[in-house]
Structure 1
Amino acid sequence: MIENSYVRSITRLGHLLDWLPSPLGSILILVFAAGIALLSSRIITDALPRLPGLRRVQFIHAIIARLRAPIRNGLMIIAASAALQATVGFTDATTSFLEQVFICLFILNLGFGIIRTFRLLTDQYLTRISARDHADDITVRSHQTQIRVLRRLIEISFGVLTVASSLMVFHSVQKFGVSLFASAGAASLIVGLSARPALTNLIAGIQIAVTQPIRMEDMLILNGDWAWVEEINATYVVLRTWDRRRYIVPISYFLENPFQNWTHSSPSLIASLFLWLDYQTPVDRLREMYFEELAKCPDWDQDKTSIGCQIADSNAQVMSIRLIAGAPDANSMWDLACDIRERMLRRLRLEMPECLPRGRTAIVPGAPEQNAWPDALVAPPVNRPQDGPYRGPDMPVSPPAATPGRP
């Protein structure tokens, strides 16, 4: 009933344009119908969020904002296709072609509208789970990884089906599809060989979403760089380094190559640093000093089971002291190590400067009857006191050195 009334109204409008050429009048009718639909959709989409019961419903505002364009396009397509029945200026072949075009556009608009709705629902879920105070960080990142990867795959698959369904409306495309299925053996072989890298990455994306060797915001070590997982797409992964560079890595790389994931099981890490100190260092006092300074570090996770101060190594000059402490994440781990190193060096410089590394030199004689430090090696000659606090008990008394210029 509504469609008949709409067609009759459009027909009466067409009679007012009888003075124009029939094709031009029919085109104006279609444009007028689409314009009326656009105006009506604007009024509906702008007025609906302002209704008293819907003003505070944020989901309604979000879905209208996301689907405003598909709704308007859909109403315009429906209005124009319905008005096509009231046109008389097109030939039968043109009318049939326009009907196919409208059906094709409607399928495309509907399919991509569904994709937008699916993306909105997944975004709402991710926002809700991220806003929970008690949510585990690993659980949140696991859900983000699964939803983002699978969403891309579903969108790509549904988009391909939508485009294929819309094109199958045309008879020429249907004939091409039948001939393609007739030669499916050769076509599948050619397509499989040419699309092997893309298919490999798509399958790897599914494996990444299921097994999750990497997740969103995981910290990885790649080519010696610290990098965080910024995006996981259907075929590649974007990694963000600490200096804001980006690595674009094929997603299959993470299934075929070993790599370090520092936040796979837990974001907490242990900071480790080394101090090279002299053998005169009192390790017990150094350990007390370390515990005092660690308690002042804001990046320490307060886990006393993960702290330590031990002699890790030694050589002929110094010994190596390893200091370890826990941190809640990778950034805090780096800051904690730098903070501890700065605090310990300041305390050692002020309180125990004898612990800092020093160079030692021992001078020995070439033969038992020779002196360890012959006077001939001293230049210029210096006067040595015969008596005094600096002369050892076994030091022989030698005659005073000759003064330059005197016999």
Structure 2
Amino acid sequence: MDTHPLLRPIVVVAATLAVTLLAGWLLDVALRRADARHSETPLWGLLRRCRPPFLLVLAASLLQAMRRSRDVVGHALTLVLIAGAAWLLVRIVTAVVDSVYARYAADAEDEARVRRVRTQVTLIQRVATATVIVVAAGAMLLTFPEMRTVGTSMLASAGVLGIVAGIAAQSALGNLFAGLQIAFGDTVRIGDTVVVDKEWGTVEEITLTFLTVRTWDERRITMPVSYFTSKPYENWSRGGAQMTGTVFWHLDHSAPVDLMREELQRILKTIPEWDGRTGSLAVTDTTPHTVQIRAVVTAADADAVWTLRCAVRERLITWLVTHHPYALPRIATSEAFPPPQP
């Protein structure tokens, strides 16, 4: 029995595995040393994520080079090589982009600008990844002879198919262009506080087709990005994150307004969310039974102003109940005084 046909594949696989593992170990050592020498950038540490696709590409290339004939196994190795190369390219692009963004975010002082760059980088990264995947899938399909034969006839009807596909994918393409418009038009960014459909929350994720808003009660609202290019919405982070909030009370006409102003200032000084810009109180309306008193307070962002408003409302009501209960609204049940006689 001739063992040569069985022995050669085993030797080839073993040699390929040994060379691949050795090359992967050398690459990892080199990247770790480079990362230790260049602590100012995370690039070399991020490139260590490329080790798995690098090993896959190297192993497939070595096995492909050692084969004598092109058969089913050779075709499978070609497909693996194309997929591995695409995976490696995506990992390299991601590492470079993340490294550049990390260095920029560490040096930048404008938080709004950092969020804008983060949004743009995220969408560019997704576009690049999608492009690499599409190209790799096309290259893999072209390795099949049947697909190359069909390709000639497909080009003849590409115009008609393009029109049909464009009509069918009108919504998806609209969202795609809307995502690019959001990224480079700087209308909404990751981390912005927005109000959509009477729900306020923080923009948590932006993709090429949809956007996710995390509400204050931890719910996620997912909507197409075209919503933000076709409908009005509130962006509380636009032009700065600082916010102004209002607190209303409906009290009796005898409410001590001057004393409430003094107490408001004392309360604000004990609340860490108050940024010290504005803290005022005024009578804004009156009815036959009550007066409406409004306090205007300011905070650094939307979350802080919400907490500040709740704290001011609670503490001032407690103060009124304790020291001036007559100022609380009440319903008169006594008989009305008759008009004076002429």
Give your verdict on TM over 0.5.
yes
Aligned to 1:400: none
Residue 182 of structure 1 aligns with an amino acid whose one-letter code is A
Aligned to 2:63: 80
C-alpha distance in structure 1 between counterparts of 2:293 and 2:80, whole Å: 72
Q: Are positions 1:313 and 2:262 aligned together?
A: no
Residue 92 of structure 2 aligns with an amino acid whose one-letter code is T
Q: Cα deviations across residues 127-182 of structure 1 (Å, max 9, x unaligned)?
A: 233334x6111111111111112221221122211221233233322222222111
SS at match of 1:265: coil
Aligned to 1:361: 333
Cα offset for 1:123?
Answer: 1.7
Please give the TM-score of this superposition, normalised by the length of structure 2: 0.89
Q: What is the 5 A alignment of 1:167-316?
A: 167-303=141-277, 306-316=278-288
Q: Cα deviations across residues 34-74 of structure 1 (Å, max 9, x unaligned)?
A: 323332234323433455x6534454652442101111011
Aligned to 1:48: 30
Aligned to 1:330: 302
Q: What is the 5 A alignment of 1:322-401?
A: 322-364=294-336
Q: Cα deviations across residues 4-33 of structure 1 (Å, max 9, x unaligned)?
A: xxxxxxxxxxxxxx92374x4554354234
Which structure carries more strand by proportion? 2
SS at match of 1:301: strand
Q: Are positions 1:69 and 2:43 aligned together?
A: no
Q: Are positions 1:131 and 2:113 aligned together?
A: no
| Larger Rg computed on CA atoms | 1
Aligned to 1:7: none
SS at match of 1:276: strand
**Larger displacement relative to structure 2 (324-333 or 180-189):** 180-189
The verdict on how the C-alpha distance between 1:178 and 1:47 changes in structure 2, with shifts beyond 3 A counting, is same
Q: Are positions 1:163 and 2:163 aligned together?
A: no
Q: Cα deviations across residues 244-291 of structure 1 (Å, max 9, x unaligned)?
A: 111121111222222222212211111211011111123223222222
Asked whether the 8 Å contact 1:231–1:237 carries over to 2, the reply is: yes
C-alpha distance in structure 1 between counterparts of 2:208 and 2:239, whole Å: 24
Asked whether the 8 Å contact 1:129–1:135 carries over to 2, the reply is: no
C-alpha distance in structure 1 between counterparts of 2:216 and 2:136, whole Å: 41
Residue 282 of structure 1 aligns with an amino acid whose one-letter code is P
The verdict on how the C-alpha distance between 1:101 and 1:368 changes in structure 2, with shifts beyond 3 A counting, is closer
C-alpha distance in structure 2 between counterparts of 1:203 and 1:215, whole Å: 16
SS at match of 2:274: coil
Aligned to 2:90: 115
The verdict on how the C-alpha distance between 1:192 and 1:324 changes in structure 2, with shifts beyond 3 A counting, is same
Cα offset for 1:330?
Answer: 0.8
C-alpha distance in structure 1 between counterparts of 2:61 and 2:307, whole Å: 61
Asked whether the 8 Å contact 1:33–1:79 carries over to 2, the reply is: no
- Structure 2 residues without counterparts, runs of 5 or longer: none
Q: Are positions 1:106 and 2:78 aligned together?
A: no
C-alpha distance in structure 1 between counterparts of 2:237 and 2:83, whole Å: 42
SS at match of 2:276: coil
Q: Give the RMSD, CA atoms, in angstroms.
A: 2.6
Q: Paired residues, what number?
A: 339
C-alpha distance in structure 1 between counterparts of 2:189 and 2:48, whole Å: 30
Identity between Structure 1 and Structure 2 (%): 28
Residue 363 of structure 1 aligns with an amino acid whose one-letter code is E
The verdict on how the C-alpha distance between 1:117 and 1:42 changes in structure 2, with shifts beyond 3 A counting, is closer
Residue 72 of structure 1 aligns with an amino acid whose one-letter code is L
C-alpha distance in structure 1 between counterparts of 2:234 and 2:301, whole Å: 15
Asked whether the 8 Å contact 1:33–1:83 carries over to 2, the reply is: no
SS at match of 1:298: coil
The verdict on how the C-alpha distance between 1:208 and 1:41 changes in structure 2, with shifts beyond 3 A counting, is same
The verdict on how the C-alpha distance between 1:39 and 1:271 changes in structure 2, with shifts beyond 3 A counting, is same
